[in-house]
Structure 1
Amino acid sequence: MSRFGASAMVRDDGPAERGLRAHALHLVPSALASWVTALVLLGCSPSAGAAVAVVAAVGALLVAVAVPGGGMAGWRNVLIAVLGCAAAVAAAVAFRVHAVGTGPVAELVDRRASAVVEAVITDDPRELPQRGGTFRRESSVVPARIESIATPAGRITLRAPVVMFVSGGEWRSLLPSQRVAVQGRFGPAGSGELLAAVVLVRGPPRVMSGPSWVQRTAGMFRLGLREAAGVLPPLQRGLLPGLVVGDVSHLDRQVRADFKEAGLSHLTAVSGANLAVMAGAAVALARTAGLPLAARALLAVAAMLAFSVVARPSPSVLRALLMGTVAAVALGTGRSRDGVAALSVTVLGLILFDPVLARSYGFALSVCATGGILVLAPRWRDRLAGRMPRWAAEAIAVPAAAQAAVTPVLVLMSGQLAPVAIPANLLAGPAVAPATLLGSVVALVAPLHMGLAQSLVRPAGLAAGWIIEVAEHAAGLPLAVIPWPGGVTGLIILAVAAPIAVLVLRRRWSRRAALAVVTGVVVAVAVVTPAAARWPPRDWLLVACDVGQGDALLVAAGPGRAVVVDAGPDPVLMDRCLRSMGVREVPLVVLTHPHFDHVGGLDGVFRGRRVGAVVVTPHRVAERESTRLSAGLARRRTVEWLARPGATWRFGPSELTVLGPPTEAPPVGGGEGAVVNNASVVVHVRWTAGTALLSGDIETEAQAELLRRGLPRADILKIPHHGSAGHDPAFFAATGARAALISVGTDNDYGHPAPSTLARLNGLGVRVYRTDLSGDLAVVARQGGLAVIPRGRPGRMGSPWP
């Protein structure tokens, strides 16, 4: 939206038009009243909404009859408009709440029953992230509209909005507007969502019809862009479709995390910014052709409409189109106040059409950003223009105004401030337009001539690469994200702090004092804090990474090098741990067994690092996961070795020896999960200062087998299976460990670590360290022995051992 906002700032009207401008601003209270009305009533009963509608309508009539016009006519009309809009929204909400709470779907929800239904997909399936668990699950959320239900008495036709929770890769290729038949169990939707039900779908969908021509055309363009981007490096290949059409299906998870921390996430969703780029290009062409201002605005709207087809006309794209049209109105009239009026009308229309938007953070961010650009940016630009070129002042004012306007929403959402977002958006901004424009051309050309599209995509990839670099460096800066109280409390504190900050910045001496204080804080965070925390510790030997419910261990292999033993469930957390330890090369990866919480983060190990061989269990357990793992390693052209008892490697200060599993067959456990766990690769690590035993997820049977074969002693024991209750009482004692590391997720659903395991370790006098309580855990050499240094979580500082 920055181009529109900037264009709308230029003109200032004389006194004759200020009355009209003030009249336009009278729409703002009506829009806010409608928003608040929907926000409150979405969680109430239909009768409450109907009562509010009646009261507001009667109030509007009373004001119209009882309050005379005269000099108060302006505010009288505003009050009537506010009450009238509130009545309309309250009635709309009451009707929608009643509609989704009654009927055949509501009866199925009450009985938690299952049924076969036909539904039309209304938006793109959204993949759910998996943070832990034993096996990889491809789960997605699919917004849909149920149009028929099969019952013993016959088929019932209806229109009921639902959300379907599905699993399996078959859903990823489906497009909005396709009709599918599924069987699922019905459950209640959350309060205020205006959904008739949540449907837990069993099995794959049965496709009843293809997508509409609009969706089919959009799918063709998106597929062409993905194929053309295949010639780019992996990170650029995943980002470019996201920048252009919001397709993040191949976006690297670490890039996604960097964008979030740097305040650049809006670039990977189709929003007013994408539409502004397209409209800006159309306006530039129109200006070159000498067209008048109104014609430029019409051409801008036409360009946005065409782009909306390419980007796929989903609800979010249509909302972005309306927001872009708001800015086009401001452009066509030359007055930002008209933009504010158009924004108010847009909010009114959208809340009436889809009241659930009142509780959407995405909608709030879009509205606030647009309003900030229209209202704040002109004043800030004019102030800065006296100190720098006008183009530079505009480039700074637009992202700063947008960020300032969305800050209250961000505080409510996540309880944090992101000061790095302004410079990050400023640096990334020049590359957004080339990437979006070239990417759009590539999407249009690809179905006609793939070779030409691949030639055009390379400069777009360079622009995407620059944005990736900006995000990565911005996310790594000190104070990139500042913790802040969340919810209403944080909003109140922000409301108090913001005016104080404005007063401080208005005077030169206070600005200098504030700058000195901020500089001191930055220096303290960037220099003093790392020196005091000493992370990573010097001469570390072993690190248990805090990756949630999973295992990820680093064994020192020399400066900038480490052997990775398991990779946890999340590639973002895995890469973050490696980065924090300064690891640039991984000569060996040991994947103890193919459960997701040990191999799901493998992509994070490969990100930007040279990786040697990968060692896996010699037994073909968990066939599907093992096949997936082997195929992934083959694509990376990485050597895959089978672990053999007695195999030894020496890297830097560390000597690693494989103890198990036995080559012939792993010990048999109870269920499938226990069989896979007992096939874990067990590694003994020796340093000059001591030893450690890394035991994977072995359970009672494999522990007994190790004891039978002869178990070497170890100073440090990585507790198997996250501290579960499945352990041999003699196993812990036989290791002779003085300290135990437990890699476990906070408040996990498995009850890990088990109280019986902790009691057993305490009874043996073993000092226990847990990643859920202390974060990353580092083993270092101290005074001829080993010590454990916890990195510490905020508010939960661990103490070193011994």
Structure 2
Amino acid sequence: MTERATDLRLLLAAVIAWAALAITLSWTVTHRGLLVAGLVLAVLAVVGAATHRRRLRRRGRLGRHAVTEGRWSGLLLLSFASVLVLQFAATANDLRAARGDVQQLVAERAAVTVTGRVETEPRRLVGRFGEEQVIVVVAVSTITGRGETGPAAARLQLVGDQELLQVRWSSTVTVAGRLSPPRDAGPEIGRLRISGSIREVRPAPAVARAAQVLRTALTASVRDLPEDARGLLPGLVIGDTSALPPDLDEAMRATGMTHLTAVSGSNVAVVIGLVFGGCTLVGVPRRLRPWLAMLALAGFVVLARPEPSVLRASAMGAIGLLGISRHRRSIGPPLLGGAILTVLTVDPWLARSYGFVLSTLATLGLLLLAGPWGDHLAPHFAKVHPRLRLLGPAVAVPLAAQVVCGPVIVLLQGSVPIVGVLANLLAAPLIPMATIGGVACAGVAVLSPTLGGWLAWLPALPTLGVARVARALAVVPGGSVPWPDGAPGAGLLAVSTVLTLLVGRSLLLVALAHPIVTLLVVALFITLLVPTRTFTWPPTRWRMVACDVGQGDGIVLRSGPASAVVVDVGPDPALIDGCLDRLGVDVVDAVVLTHFHADHVGGIDGVSRGRQVKALLVTAVDDDEPTAREVRTWAQRRGLKATPLRIGDRFTAGALTASVWWPARRIDAGSVPNNSSVVLAVRTGEVDALLLGDIEREAGAAILSELRRRPEFASAARSFDVVKTPHHGSANISPALMEAIRAPVGIVSVGADNDYGHPSATQLSLLRRLGYAVYRTDLRGDIAVVDTDSGEAVVTMR
């Protein structure tokens, strides 16, 4: 049976209407009304032209291009109609949101009482002044303000304290507070700072309560698992990443695997594809496979909660089923176009949602690529063993999703994860085992938490495998290729992808037919995998480098063409010596030892190997540790005197200036040596950095007090370009201090696989909530801050 040609007109029209909606979302109703009027006139013109064409056809006066012209006019009419539908929907949404004068009350920052349905899970955030906030989005049904009560249909963000964490998703609550404008453009038209208690007026529906029971049971069943499995398994099953270790989260981002823990069309597509593969393995009849996949999808929706994002992803996933059905592929793109229009009609603000873009692209990959690629790959797997034929669609699904989602991923993270396809292929066989096992554990844990906890070890094994794949491939040299940021980079990758899909096979055949060309292609591929930093390190105009000295600190601050100030030297002389050699440092203007723990002073001999050391600066708090005596002995042999540093001291070395922010006194609480660390505010070139040594919570609080007393410290606190974070990422820090000195870049100097659990999830999460871009020496190697014409940049060895 010949497959019908695929009609892409509705899909193209939907994409055009989507783009128009994204552009006009912030327009006023008046401006949108003018656009709609213009579109109506355009539709009338197209209809008139089509009517005239039909008359000419009846009279036999149409030329040979009539059919093509008719198709183009049909696409044009369909596009105009689609744009009109979405513009009407956006206008209706705006008019609906204006009910109850909510926008006016927001503008007046009025004190109001609202009743509404909870639409999202509570989220923890750090406020502008370091305080912890909890945010929930509600769909308001009634509002009381300025002495009047009336109906409303707006969405608001509720901002409160820990009490807001007890709010149940999909329940109806009544709260009082003061309104304020939203911080970002979005579907929520304002924020409500809660000033009283929260009262639940209607419990969540039965489906929501059932989902909550299963989610709670799943969380309880994984409580005793290793950290990676405890954080990742709920993410794979229900998209809950609240307990995901930050370093694993970073590894999954680097390998393009974050879609596995996001309730997106990509996630749904992978699960559905693997369900089809399992059905093929056990011999389920073809006609039953879509129904079983739909059943699995319905269970997924209940467990992940039928929030708008979940329903959106599931709708796209259901359409994606057609991409694996050999006999229904031709109707997939029109259905996808219709789904886009339907979803955007219900929620116009999804037009600017990256999640919706990824869901749509993943579904498009299933419809256009996964089926043919699966058919092509299956015979090759079958040559090994007939049962392996099912690996064709199983491999094609993540591959197609990765290819079509690549431009958006570049837009979000500014790099192309070359290892992403390999990482997803290796993880693909593990995902169904983890997902099905996680769902089963949740069901069992509802009846018996103890038994559920025992069974949780079964899905934990494949989950740990997924984590291992992410961590291993995240550090592969060349695994993530830098790419231009923003829309130009996304457009470039999109064009490159399309060209590769169109002519890649022909180019491969040409290369195979010409051995010399093949060798050149292989050589080019190998060149791309070789870390370029091997040949280009150090970067020109470097000003600060955090050396990878293992579990310790070793910071090099440039003071001249071949001179530097070294702050701490790590535990191993060879490591700091190698870093200084790579940087071409011949003269060390000063060695600053923040305190005398071995991981900061053990490598002191490496600094003086073949170099002149001019000065030694140390903490002013006396320390009689053996390492301190060894440092003084080293200094005496080289004719140096250890000069103590106290708060308020300043020193210069060539192009570098430094101000000492700590220590001011001895703190006996916590670790005395750590809290006696020298804290330096340095400027080298145009780079301003704050080096926090190993200070703990107590010293952090003391420095925060100094900020309030010393105007020169306070004025500099928000001007740093980079902060070397405290104590290798320890959880024992002062969040308020990190908020007060917030900087764009945070560097964590830490050793891989250390025994201290550094860096802690607590510090990494805090840094990300405060807006730091976090760089770690255990993952990136040497980290350089470079002074460029357009500002500061970070360049890493890996």
- TM-score w.r.t. the length of structure 1 is 0.67
Q: Aligned letter for 2:471?
A: E
| Residue 110 of structure 2: aligned partner | 113
Give the secondary-structure state (helix, strand or coil) at the position aligned to 1:791: strand
- Could you say which residue in structure 1 is the equivalent of 2:754? none
Tell me, in whole angstroms, the C-alpha distance in 2 between the residues paired with 1:100 and 1:329: 36
Percentage of identical aligned residues: 26
Deviation digits for residues 519-548 of structure 1 (CA, Å, limit 9, x no counterpart): 1232243744569999736799843599xx
Distance 1:697 1:182, change over 3 A: farther
Matches within 5 A, 1:69-88: 69=54, 71=67, 72-88=69-85
2:209 & 2:358 partners in 1: Cα distance? 30
Larger displacement relative to structure 2 (271-280 or 449-458): 271-280
Cα distance per residue 1:227-254 (max 9 Å; x no partner): 1111211221111111101122222222
2: distance between equivalents of 1:587 and 1:223?
A: 45
Instruction: Answer yes or no: is 1:337 the counterpart of 2:330.
Output: yes
Measure the CA separation in 1 of the matches of 2:15 and 2:552: 58
What does residue 743 of structure 1 align with?
691
Distance in 2 separating the partners of 1:475 and 1:337: 38
- For residues 636-686 of structure 1, the C-alpha deviation after alignment (integer angstroms, 9 at most, x for no partner) is xxxxxxxx9766444699779xxxxxxxxxxxxxxxxxxxxxxxxxxxx99
Residue 198 (structure 1) aligns with:
191
CA–CA distance in structure 1, aligned partners of residues 253 and 630 of structure 2: 37
Instruction: Using the TM superposition, give the Cα deviation of residue 226 of structure 1 relative to its aligned residue in structure 2, in angstroms.
Output: 0.9
Matched, 1:514 2:521: yes
**SS of structure 2 residue aligned to 1:118:** strand
Q: Structure 2 CA distance, aligned partners of 1:484 and 1:147?
A: 46
3-state DSSP class of the match of 2:154? strand
Q: Please state how far the C-alpha of 1:441 moved relative to its aligned partner.
A: 0.8
* CA distance, structure 2, for counterparts of residue 38 and residue 467 of structure 1: 38
Aligned mate of 1:311, from 304, 309, 324: 304
Residue in 2 aligned with 1:169? 162
* Separation in structure 2 between the aligned mates of residue 174 and residue 288 of structure 1, nearest angstrom: 44
Query: Structure 2 matches for 1:327-476, cutoff 5 A?
Result: 327-331=320-324, 334-381=327-374, 394-476=393-475
| 2:252/2:474 contact within 8 Å kept | yes
In 1, distance between residues paired with 2:636 and 2:437? Answer: 55
> What is the CA–CA distance in structure 2 between the aligned matches of 1:697 and 1:380, rounded to whole Å?
67
Q: State how 1:288-687 maps to structure 2 within 5 Å.
A: 293-331=286-324, 334-381=327-374, 394-494=393-493, 497-498=496-497, 505-506=507-508, 507-508=510-511, 510=517, 512-525=519-532, 527-528=534-535, 536=547, 542-543=553-554, 556-557=570-571, 648-650=624-626
Q: 1:700 to 1:279 in 2, by over 3 A?
A: closer
Task: Name the counterpart of 2:246.
Answer: 253
Secondary structure of the corresponding residue to residue 96 of structure 1 = helix
Aligned to 1:763: none
Q: Which residue of 2 aligns with 1:718?
A: 678
CA distance in 1 between partners of 2:414 and 2:661 (Å): 47
Q: Is the 8 A contact 1:484 1:490 kept in 2?
A: yes
Residue 64 (structure 1) aligned with residue 47 (structure 2):
yes
1:126 aligns with 2:123: yes
Q: Which residue of 2 aligns with 1:50?
A: 33
Tell me the distance in 2 between the aligned counterparts of 1:76 and 1:539.
66
Q: For 1:501 and 1:382, locate their aligned partners in 2 and report how far apart those are by CA, in whole Å.
A: 19
Match for 1:442: what amino acid? C
One-letter identity of the residue aligned with 1:146: V
- Select which of 70, 79, 91 maps to 1:94: 91
Query: For residue 108 of structure 2, what is the amino acid of its counterpart?
Result: R
Q: Which amino acid aligns with 2:135?
A: V
Deviations 1:736-794, CA, capped at 9 Å, x for gaps: xxxx973389xxx999999946999xxxxxxx99767998699xxxxxxxxxx983347
Alignment match, 2:673? none
Shift of residue 203, structure 1, vs aligned partner: 6.0
The correspondence for 1:32, drawn from 6, 9, 15, is 15
Distance in 1, matches of 2:333 and 2:793, equals: 49
Q: 1:686 to 1:528 in 2, by over 3 A?
A: farther
For each residue in 1:147-202, what CA deviation from the matched residue of structure 2 results, as whole angstroms up to 9, or x when unmatched?
Answer: 22233534333221122333x33333422212233333323336752332233334
Task: Note the residue ranges of structure 1 that are not aligned, 5 or more in a row.
Answer: 1-12, 547-552, 563-585, 590-643, 657-684, 708-715, 725-739, 761-767, 779-788
Please state whether the residue corresponding to 2:152 is helix, strand or coil.
Answer: strand
Give the drift of 1:361.
Answer: 0.5
Q: What residue identity is the alignment partner of 1:138?
A: E
| Cα shift readout 1:42-100 (whole Å, capped 9, x = no counterpart) | 02111222222233234334323431346354444333222211111111112223333
Distance 1:773 1:467, change over 3 A: closer
Q: Distance in 2 between matches of 1:453 and 1:220?
A: 13
Task: Give the distance between the partners of 2:391 and 2:312, measured in 1 at CA.
Answer: 30
- RMSD between superposed Cα atoms in Å: 4.8
Inter-partner Cα distance in structure 2 for 1:463 and 1:544: 39
Report the alpha carbon displacement of residue 457 of structure 1 after superposing the two structures with TM: 1.1
Deviations 1:453-507 (A, max 9, x none): 2232112011111111111122222233333222232234435545666657443
Give 1:127 shift: 2.7
Task: Give the Å deviation of 1:217.
Answer: 0.9
Structure-2 separation of matches of 1:288 and 1:66? 55
Structure 1 Cα separation of the partners of residues 125 and 745 of structure 2? 28
Deviations 1:271-330 (A, max 9, x none): 345545665676678779977544432332233112211221111111121012102344
Partner of 1:233: 226
The one-letter amino acid paired with 2:151 is: T
Cα deviation 1:347-406 (Å, max 9, x = unaligned): 111111111111101110111122123213345456666866555555544333222211
Change (3 A) 1:225 1:776: closer
The one-letter amino acid of 1:107's match is Q
Change (3 A) 1:692 1:183: farther
Kept in 2, the 8 Å contact 1:558–1:653? The answer is no
Q: Per-residue deviation at 1:219?
A: 0.7
Which residue does 1:606 correspond to in 2?
none
Match in the other structure for 2:64: none
Give the match for residue 672 of structure 1. none
Contact 1:222 1:310 in 2 (8 A): yes
1:91-147, Cα deviation, whole Å (9 max, x unpaired): 1112223333564211112212332322321111233368xx885x43233221122
Aligned length in residues = 625
For residues 493 and 661 of structure 2, the distance between their equivalents in structure 1, rounded to whole angstroms, comes to: 57
1:775 touches 1:793 (CA, 8 Å); kept in 2?
no
User: Per-residue CA shift, 1:620-640, capped at 9, x if unaligned?
Assistant: xxxxxxxxxxxxxxxxxxxxx
Q: Which moved more, 1:414-423 or 1:535-544?
A: 535-544
The question of 1:179 aligning with 2:172 is answered: yes
For 2:10, the aligned partner's letter is L
Superposition deviation, residue 424 in structure 1: 1.1
**CA displacement, residues 557-588 of structure 1 (integer Å, 9 cap, x when unaligned):** 459999xxxxxxxxxxxxxxxxxxxxxxx999
Give the Cα–Cα distance (whole angstroms) in 2 for the partners of residues 717 and 288 of structure 1: 62
Q: Give the SS at the match of 2:173.
A: strand
